[in-house]
Structure 1
Amino acid sequence: MTDYSIPQPTSGDVVDLITADHRLLEDLMRAMRDESADRDAARVAFADLLVAHSEAEEDNVYPKLKSKKVIDGEEEEHGEKEHAATNEALLKLLQAKGTDTQKFEDALEAVAEVLNHHIGEEELSILNPAREDAPETTRQELGEKWLAKRNQLLESGAGSIDNVEAIVKKAYDDGLLPNDDQPDE
Structure 2
Amino acid sequence: MAADVVDLIMQDHREVERLFDELKDNPEKRVGLLPVLTTLLSAHSRAEESEVYPAAAAEADEADEVAHSQEEHVEADELLAKLAATDPESADFDKALQKVIDAVSHHVEEEETKVLPGMRANLSEERRMQLGEAFAAARKEHLGDQPDDITREQLLQQARNADVSGVSSLDKDQLQKKLRQEASE
Residue of structure 2 equivalent to 1:90: 80
Which amino acid in structure 2 is aligned with residue 34 of structure 1?
Answer: D
Gaps of at least 5 residues in structure 1 are 1-9, 180-185
Alignment coverage as a number of residue pairs: 165
Residue of structure 1 equivalent to 2:38: 47
Q: Are the aligned partners of 1:12 and 1:140 in contact in 2 as well (CA < 8 Å)?
A: yes
Residue of structure 1 equivalent to 2:128: 139
Instruction: Say whether residues 1:17 and 2:19 are aligned partners.
Output: no
* Secondary structure, counterpart of 2:107 in structure 1: helix
CA shift at 1:170, angstroms?
Answer: 4.9
Which amino acid in structure 1 is aligned with residue 179 of structure 2?
Answer: L
Q: Give, in whole Å, the separation in 2 of the partners of 1:124 and 1:60.
A: 20
Identity, in percent, stands at 33
As a proportion of its length, which structure holds more helix? 2
**What is the TM-score normalised by the length of structure 1?**
0.81
CA RMSD in angstroms comes to 2.3
Q: Give, in whole Å, the separation in 2 of the partners of 1:90 and 1:122.
A: 19
**What is the TM-score normalised by the length of structure 2?**
0.81
Q: Give, in whole Å, the separation in 2 of the partners of 1:112 and 1:172.
A: 27
Residue of structure 1 equivalent to 2:94: 105
CA shift at 1:152, angstroms?
Answer: 1.0
Gaps of at least 5 residues in structure 2 are 156-170
In terms of mean alpha carbon deviation, does 10-19 or 115-124 score higher? Answer: 10-19
Q: Give, in whole Å, the separation in 1 of the partners of 2:39 and 2:51.
A: 18
Runs of 4+, deviation exceeding 4 Å: 164-172
Residue of structure 2 equivalent to 1:31: 22
Which amino acid in structure 1 is aligned with residue 24 of structure 2?
Answer: R
CA shift at 1:171, angstroms?
Answer: 8.2
